Amino acid sequence: MIEAEKPQSLVRKVERPPILDRIISERISDKEKDKLVDELLEKFDRQDIEEIKGGEIELSPRQKELIIEANRLISKALGGIGIKMKTEIKYPNIHILKADVFEKYRKKKGIKSESISAWTSIGEQAIFIKQEEYNELLFLDRIIHEMLHINSFISFQTVDMALDMEDRVGITERRTGLRIRETKIKIKKGKKGKKVAGRTFFNDLDEAIIEKLTLDIIRNFDLKISLGLKDDFQKSEKLRKILIDYIQKMFQERGGNMSQEELLEIGILYMVLNWGAVLLPEAGGFLEKYNENHDRIELEQAISFYSDQEASGFISHFAYGSQRILLERLINKIFEKNKEKFNNPSEIAQLFIRAAFEGRLLPLARLIDETFGKGSFRKLGEGEDITAVDFSE
């Protein structure tokens, strides 16, 4: 459902902080909405979370500096496309938890994915990160992703607390970025219908947009990280781009003569280099050897090495790779069918970003339905790959 302009009694717009843009409800008064905002602001400031006490790892001085750096990078990235950063996150709002405490709290909050290493809680006004071995680059990757979630468009809605309670009203997420939580009416025999939280739509698409922005920041902005790591990262990026170009030429020149096994192995590495790799180990050595004589054998050896590294799980990845690939495919397909309206795919990507960070769903929904057919926007929200259907006829 697209959010339209509503009477003041229904919509309460909020100046940040706390981490909230608006409350949408006809069930509670403006005074109650103000009280809710005050409660969230108190949570934002106090960070008194009972469930994590005794299980939190104190942030190091360097990690606190990296949180400041993440705020700077996000402000610059969003500002570059005309979006104002809404909330500067301070280090008390970021909690590194021991692995067992993280997992216990994750399950209590109903987060089903066992692979996540961090999440943002709008209800607690906080970011939780699982204790792992992070270098500065990976720590930045984690916190930038979660801080972008916090700076996306966020709204709450009211629901009934339980089917057997007459008057108690609670709140739940309505919008977080592109993610939309629907509500539905449940009826218990002999009772009037109750409004309860239902399905979540656009979750994968929202994560793809957030991680695409994270990747763009990490790869394209001047990061204030330690000099040694920065040098390694710069060499990794140079080698990554050289290998991508070389693999593309390999496919053009020798693709027809490669075995299925070779095509699969090289294809996987190409995807990793393009979409996944954060930092390539030992990139400096390969780059130095290649720069000496530009011998393709050095690149062949690098490809073999990184294929083995990937198979062994030694290459760190940006998250939500498959979701980002689908997002890129969607953007390119929209551009192909609307070249008279857009100069390049980046303009379409900005529509997705604005929908996630400014709440502007209507222009995006209209474009998708016009491109792929009526009802396609909802199908996309349900997780369907609408690019798999040809609407060109």
pLDDT digits (tens, 9 = 90+) for 191-219: 555 555 678 899 999 999 999 999 999 99
Q: Are residues 41 and 68 in the same domain?
A: no
Q: What is the pLDDT of residue 6?
A: 42
CA separation, residue 291 to residues 127, 168, 285 (Å): 43, 69, 10
The reported pLDDT for the residue numbered 22 is 82
CATH number for the domain spanning 58: value is: 3.30.2010
Q: Which pLDDT score, from 0 to 100, does residue 36 have?
A: 84
54 in a structural domain: yes
Q: Does some domain include residue 62? A: yes
Amino acid 135: pLDDT: 93
238/125 same-domain check: no
What is the β-pairing status of strands 154-160 and 22-24? parallel
Of 260, 331, 324, 254, the residue nearest 268 (C-alpha): 260
> Which amino acid, one-letter code, is at 378?
R
Q: Which is nearest to 136 in space by CA: 279, 236, 241?
A: 279
Q: How many domains does the chain have?
A: 3
Instruction: Give a three-class secondary structure readout of 163-201.
Output: CCCCCCEEEEEEEECCEEEEEEEECCCCCCCEEEEEEEE
Cβ proximity of 237 and 219 under 8 Å: yes
109/82 same-domain check? yes
pLDDT of residue 12: 60
The answer to whether the beta carbons of residues 280 and 314 sit under 8 Å apart is no
* Segment holding 24, helix H or strand E: strand 22-24
Those residues with Cβ within 8 angstroms of residue 194's Cβ, 6 or more apart along the chain or in another chain:
160, 162, 163, 185, 186, 187, 188
Residue-level pLDDT at 7: 41
The verdict on residue 174 lying in a domain is yes
Residues 6+ apart with CB under 8 A from 191: 163, 164
221 domain residue, yes or no: no
Cα distance between residue 389 and residue 168, in whole Å: 45
Q: How many CB atoms neighbour CB 118 within 10 A? A: 21
Residue where a domain stops, chosen among 92, 121, 151: 151
How many residues are listed for the chain in this entry?
393
Single residue among 136, 151, 166 that ends a domain in this structure:
151
From 136, 167, 201, give the residue that closes a domain: 201
> In terms of domains, do 166 and 135 share one?
no
Same domain, 270 and 346: yes
How many other β-carbons are positioned within 10 Å of the β-carbon of residue 313? 8
Distance CA 166, CA 176 (A): 28
Residues 377 and 270 in one domain: yes
Each of the 393 residues of the chain gets a pLDDT tens digit; together they read 334 434 445 666 656 656 778 887 777 788 888 888 888 889 899 999 999 999 999 999 999 999 999 999 999 999 999 999 999 999 999 999 999 999 999 999 888 888 899 999 988 899 999 999 889 999 999 999 999 999 999 988 876 655 555 556 567 778 899 998 876 656 555 555 555 567 889 999 999 999 999 999 999 999 999 999 999 999 999 999 999 999 999 999 888 888 899 899 999 999 999 999 999 999 999 999 999 999 999 999 999 999 999 999 999 999 999 999 999 999 999 999 999 999 999 999 999 999 999 998 999 999 999 999 999 999 999 988 998 865 444
Helix (H, G, I), strand (E, B) or coil at 349: helix
pTM of this structure: 0.89
Q: Are residues 15 and 95 in the same domain?
A: no
Q: Are residues 144 and 160 in the same domain?
A: no
Beta strands of 39-177 (E only): which ranges?
56-57, 94-97, 118-121, 126-130, 154-160, 169-176
Residue pair 155/180 in contact (Cβ under 8 Å)? The answer is no
Are 269 and 376 in the same domain? yes
**Alpha-carbon distance 159 to 179, whole Å?**
18
**Shared-domain flag, residues 308 and 326:** yes
The sign of the dihedral angle between the CA atoms of 235, 236, 240, 241 is: negative
Would you say residue 382 lies in a domain? yes
pLDDT at 16: 60
**CA separation for the pair 88, 67 (Å, rounded):** 10
Residue 241: inside a domain? yes
Is there a single domain that holds both residue 272 and residue 283?
Answer: yes
**Whether residues 388 and 351 fall in one domain:** yes
Whole-angstrom distance, CA of residue 12 vs CA of residue 20: 10
Strand partners, 200: 181
For residue 33, what pLDDT is reported?
Answer: 83
Range of the structural domain that residue 109 is part of: 47-151
| Terminal-to-terminal C-alpha distance of the chain | 28
Examine residue 378 and state whether it is found in any structural domain, yes or no.
Answer: yes
SS3 316: strand
Residue 29 covered by a domain: yes
